[in-house]
Structures are given as structure tokens and as C-alpha cells.
Structure 1
Amino acid sequence: MAEQLITLESFWTLREKMPLIDARSEGEFTQSHIPGAFNLPILNNQERVLVGTLYKEKGSEQATLKGFELVGPRFHQIQKQAIQSFPDRKVILYCWRGGMRSQILSWLLSMVGFEVLRLKGGYKTYRTFTFEEVRKELSLLVLGGKTGSAKTLLLNKLKEKGEQVVDLEGLANHRGSSFGSIGLPEQPSVEQFENLLAEEIRLLDPKKPLWVENESRKIGRVILPDRFFEQMISSPLIDIQKSDEERIQHIESEYGILPKEDLIKAVKRLQKKLGGLRTQEAIEDIEAGNHASWIRNLLLYYDKTYDFDLHRHDSSKTQTLDLTGQNLDSQIQLLLQAKNQFYGN
């Protein structure tokens, strides 16, 4: 069956109906890809380097011949894998620029009865879109508060109430502290994080405010897009307040169940900032299961860090909101009232 070229505009709808194949090498795919894609490489990492070098040194024809020499013996394996993975034989596929690799894969699959839609411009077209999407103007509303204020829980509840929310830490697979990666999958690359963020922003109503949690420029190894972070700094911020007891209880509910060895490693990463004595005290409390004690110890450091970071925001756009002792429903109502003061009903 003949292939059909599709634009990025058509792709958004069609990908909900058909599986998506990335024909690039496994290394390129790991670095970044269109979310939801399945990797079926035409050239693997080593072969791609070899063909690329040959292209630079001897030109397109020699590189093309070498590519077919390398991948030709595997044609039947690629076809069998596709048939097994996609029994309906309808797929969308792409490579880097919509060039030779996706053309070859399209030809191979068409030969065994696949209906193939190929993304015009390939991943490069998609990536150009996501790069621009995460840097466009947004109406942000930043939720701040010291460690343990249950900001992520509140954002999730706001989303349930119909508010527009993007969970930056969820996309980054990191909770934003030395302890932030414990028990979570590996973080995406910076580029892949931007792809994930763009996918969420694309579906939002630009006329409505978007809630995000107050973050540093880096969430673990992920770096927030420059313009997005600049907008966070200049946007309205609601700084929620809770008692130390409430914060410690919340942190203990999330971190007290984690492996002690992981908690100790996280504390040791902070040793230069905590000092030798406080580090040792925290480790001893973790080993003894005295979670409230080591959490209280570390909050002394994290509270100072938060106070320092809070000064980056425009004080005239910062509203302090005391949620101490309030139940969850009341906290949400107070947050919505605070939002209306910045953005109206």
C-alpha cells in the first residue's frame, strides 16, 4: 500500500487512532522522542555513526550504499517485529527529518500490507513546535510554600476541580530536593522534558491561568526552559503557610516509608551544607526510625533555602496564605479565592 505524508497539524488527531513508530537509532530515541512512540530503528547507534562518517567523507551515494549493506540483511526481522507489534498494520512513522530512514521503513512495511502515514519533516518538525511551545507567553499562577506544605497534593486537587495545572515535578520524575529521585523512574533528558511539557501546554486554554509549583531553575538534572522560568519569577505567587507539625507529618507520610539506605545517601549529599554534626544526627535518627526528628533537623536547611529563593519574586505579586489547621476542602477554597484576586473569576 502507498504511504501518505501528513502534516504536524493532522498528526495531533491521527496519533490518537494509530500507533507511532520512531525509525531513528536507539540512542536518538533515548535522548528524546515524540511521547508514546515505539522505537523500531533502521540503523542502530553504531551503524548510524558509520554511515554518518561515510557521508561526510565520501558523499551521499557511498553512505546510502553502506546503509543498505548494513540494514539489508535485517529487513525481514524489521518486518516481522512490526507485524508482531502492530497486528492492525496501520501506523504513523517518523525519523529525524522525514528522510531516508522513515522512507525505507515505510517501504518495508508497505511491502507486507501496512497502511503507513509518514510525518512530514519528521521529529525535527515536532521538536521545533515543542521548543517554541514551552517558551510562549502564559498566564501562570505559582504555588509556593516551604518543604512539606503538600503543594503537589493541593495542585492535584485543584486539577480535580477543573483548574489548569501542570505538575512540573511529575514530568521531571523528581520532587525537587536531595531526596527527590528516591523511588521514581529515571529522569527524562532536558529535551524530552520540554516535549512532555509542550504536550500539556498545547491542550490548555490560553485565556485561563495555569497553576504550577514554585521551583528552582533545575528540578534534579532537568533544567526548566529559560522563558518559562522567567515567567514563573515574574508571575503572581501564592505563598502558603502551614505549621511545622503539619509539614513534618506530611513529609513523614511520603518519605518515612522509603528505604533507609536511600534516605541516608540523600542526607550525605547535603553534608557540606548541613555540617558534620547535623548530618550525623540525621543519619542516626533515620537508622533508629525517628523520622520526625531527622525531618525537623533538615527543615532548618530547607527553610533557609526557600526564604532565599522567595526573594526572587516580585513582592507586589506575592500573597501569603495561612492554611494552618484547615481541612483539604477549605484549603482549596482559599486558594481559589486567592487566584480570583489575581485573575478574577
Structure 2
Amino acid sequence: TPLEFEEDHLPGARNLPVLDNEQRVEIGILYRESPFKGRKLGARYVSESIARHLAGPLSGVEPGWKPLIYCWRGGQRSAAFATVLRSIGWRARTLEGGYKAYRRFVMDDLVRRFSNPELQFRIISGLTGTGKTRLLEALSREGTQVIDLEAMANHRGSLLGTVGTQPSQRRFENRLHAALSKFDPCLPIFAEAESSRIGSVYLPPALWKQFAASRVIELTLPVPERVKLLLEDYRHFLQEPETLSNLLELLGKLRGHAQVSDWQAQIVQGTWPEFVTSLLENHYDLCYRRPGSPTSNYQAPAEQFALPDCSMESYHQAARQLRESEAAFSS
């Protein structure tokens, strides 16, 4: 159903539901009263849906099509659809066990991958605004293996980090698995130092444990450059000052209502550099758990990169230096 597909789906899957959300509920209720009546109504709905798909999205599909059909449990929904497609001449297959079997495979395979002694992560740490994500982007362009957990979670990992609707926990883990499946386990994977939760999704415990034992590289950047970077990356708040002001209300208990009022006054006045500087010094920097400290999950930094500015050239230069130091460390 559309709701099942929204919660999670196989990578690259296209949704052609044979039951909509309401029909699935209706049939479930009727089936408990009378299995015969439930199956009969289900057959009617499924037949109508398949007919619509054949007249619509499948109308131009060529004879050589070889679809893999699946539903939630690999039961009658996918079996009925595949039977019709095969009778037409397409070489349709069904996924045994459906989505639930795929889900079990993903979770088992994640545990297997995280248990691999050859797997190595490199953790990029640093204060808010030092450009950790930019460094990951530069590393990726240089050909390094990178996982951007914040992009997978659709969240930047802070109070102001919401960038849209977050995926479900299942969908997040699916994205993580898809990314790891493309990597060479013998080569290091770079990731940003995250907390165990990014917005509403959680890192798998086995990954969190791997991060705790991983080599850490700390990134530093002068405060004026951090302010400049944040104004570039969060420019949408400059057009939505009311949204920003409302979010800051949530910091009243932690930082005091007087401090929040000062920030809101700076927003009204449009003194953005002063506002961001104060927010860094009086909130974000106070929240930072330096790797190696008793409150951090991460080891003390093995290396530190002090960037002079927030230009992409600086991050590409740091990425090249990191690749060189990584080669020296591994040899």
C-alpha cells in the first residue's frame, strides 16, 4: 500500500499498489468476520487495480520486461499481480517473504558488516560551523569512501537542523545499508561525528560501537569563518526569521529566557553575524563534547586540520592532505 511503501521500500522500487490504504484495512476487518468474503472482496479490488496499472503506467512496457514483484509479506497481493503479468508474457518473479524478508536481510547484513574486523571508519569531528559536511563532500569528490549520515537522515543534527520530512527508522537503515553495500570493506570510510540520534532516527547500536573505536580527525576554523559558513548553509532562516525565532524559544529553559530574548532582538534587527556569533559562543560551543573527554563517545583526535577559511578550495586541500596522511598511516 502507499503507506507501506512510504515507510520503506527496496532501493529503486516503483510502487504499483493493488490495494490502497483504506482497502487493506477494510479487507482485514472483513476477513476476520468471514475469510471467504474477505478474499472475494480482495480479489475484486486487486483485479481492478491491476487493470488500471495495465491501462496506465504499464501500457507502454515492452515484451522483454522482467519485473521483481513484492508486497509486505510476499503473499497473495504480489502473487496475484505476478500471475497476471506472467500470463501476459512478462517474466515476472516474486520476492519470497516480501518486504519483511528483505528487512531481515538488511538488518542481518548490517550486523555482519559492522562485525567485520577489516571495517574501518574515520570520524570527522569539530565544532558547529567548521564545515564537516563540506569536508565529506570534498573527500567524496576526491574518490574517498564517505557516508553522509545527516543527508540520509534528512536532518543536520541540531535544533535548527530540520531540512524537511525525515525518513522512517527503517528507511534510514535501508539507505545506510545501500551505501555500505557499494563500499570496499578493506578501505576506510569517512563519516561525521554524530550523536546516537539524528533528529528522530537512531544510529544502529553496532555502528555506534564501531564509531567509538574509530580514528578521529578534528577540524578547526576561525569563528568569523564559521559564522560565514553557517550564514551560507542556513540562509533559508534569513527569509524565515519568524520560524527561527520560534525554534529558539525551545532553548529558554537551557540558556535562559533573557539570552533567548537577546537572540530574538538580533533577529529583528537583522544583525545576523552578531546573532550567529552569540549563538555559537552561548549555545553550540557549550554543547560540544570534545572527542576523548569523559562525556564523548569518541576517541581523542589523532589528527587536527586547522583550515584558514571556509572556501571549498580549503576543504579540497584538506581532503587531499587527509588522503596523503591516510596512505602514510595505513602503510
TM over 0.5, shorter chain: yes
Distance (Å, rounded) in 2 between the aligned partners of 1:337 and 1:285: 44
149, 153, 156: which is aligned to 1:175?
156
Match of 2:268 among 251, 272, 287: 287
Q: Does 1:236 align with 2:210?
A: no
Query: Which amino acid is 2:62 matched to?
Result: D
Q: Structure 2 CA distance, aligned partners of 1:296 and 1:179?
A: 15
> Which amino acid counterpart does residue 233 of structure 1 have in structure 2?
A
User: 1:96-175 to 2 correspondence within 5 Å?
Assistant: 96-135=72-111, 136-137=113-114, 138-175=119-156
Q: Letter of the 1:103 partner, please give it.
A: A
Q: Are the aligned partners of 1:93 and 1:102 in contact in 2 as well (CA < 8 Å)?
A: yes
Does residue 220 in structure 1 map to residue 199 in structure 2?
A: yes
Instruction: Give the whole-Å Cα distance in 2 for the aligned partners of 1:218 and 1:27.
Output: 24
Change over 3 Å in CA distance of 1:306–1:273 after alignment to 2: same
TM-score (norm 1): 0.83
The amino acid of 1:318's aligned partner reads P
Q: Which letter does structure 2 place at the counterpart of 1:336?
A: R
Whole-Å separation in 1 of the counterparts to 2:272 and 2:292 = 27
Q: Percent identity?
A: 30
Question: Kindly tell me: are residues 56 and 139 of structure 1, through their superposed partners in 2, closer, same or farther at Cα, counting changes over 3 Å?
Answer: farther
Q: Structure 2 CA distance, aligned partners of 1:237 and 1:160? A: 21
Shift of 1:49: 2.3
Equivalent of 1:199 in 175, 178, 183: 178
Is contact 1:93–1:118 with CA below 8 Å preserved after alignment?
Answer: yes
Matches of 1:192 and 1:310, distance apart in 2: 32
The letter for the 2-side match of 1:303 is D
| Residues 68/298 of structure 1: CA separation in 2 closer, same or farther (3 Å cut) | same
TM-score by length of 2: 0.86
Partner of 2:287: 305
CA pair 318-308 structure 1, distance change in 2 beyond 3 A: closer
Q: Secondary structure at the match of 2:302?
A: strand
Runs of at least 5 residues in structure 1 that lack an aligned partner in the other structure: 1-24
How far 1:57 moved relative to its partner? 5.6
- Decide which of 312, 315, 331 is 1:328's aligned counterpart: 315
- Local SS of the residue matching 1:321: strand
Pairwise CA RMSD: 2.4
Residues 281 and 42 of structure 1, relative CA distance in 2, 3 Å threshold: same
Per-residue CA deviations over 1:283-332 (Å, capped at 9, x if unaligned) read 222232221111111112111211367632454x5224141316334322
Q: Within 2, Cα distance between the matches of 1:212 and 1:255?
A: 21
Q: Does 1:77 align with 2:60?
A: no
Distance 2:224 2:292 in 1: 22
Letter in 1 for 2:61: P
Distance 1:206 1:283, change over 3 A: same
Q: Is the counterpart of residue 52 in structure 1 residue 28 in structure 2?
A: yes
Equivalent residue in structure 2 for 1:318, among 283, 301, 312:
301
Change (3 A) 1:67 1:310: farther
Q: Which moved more, 1:147-156 or 1:74-83?
A: 74-83
Matched, 1:278 2:233: no
Name the amino acid aligned to 2:288: Y
Q: CA deviation at 1:131?
A: 1.3
**Cα 1:94/1:191, change in 2 over 3 Å:** same
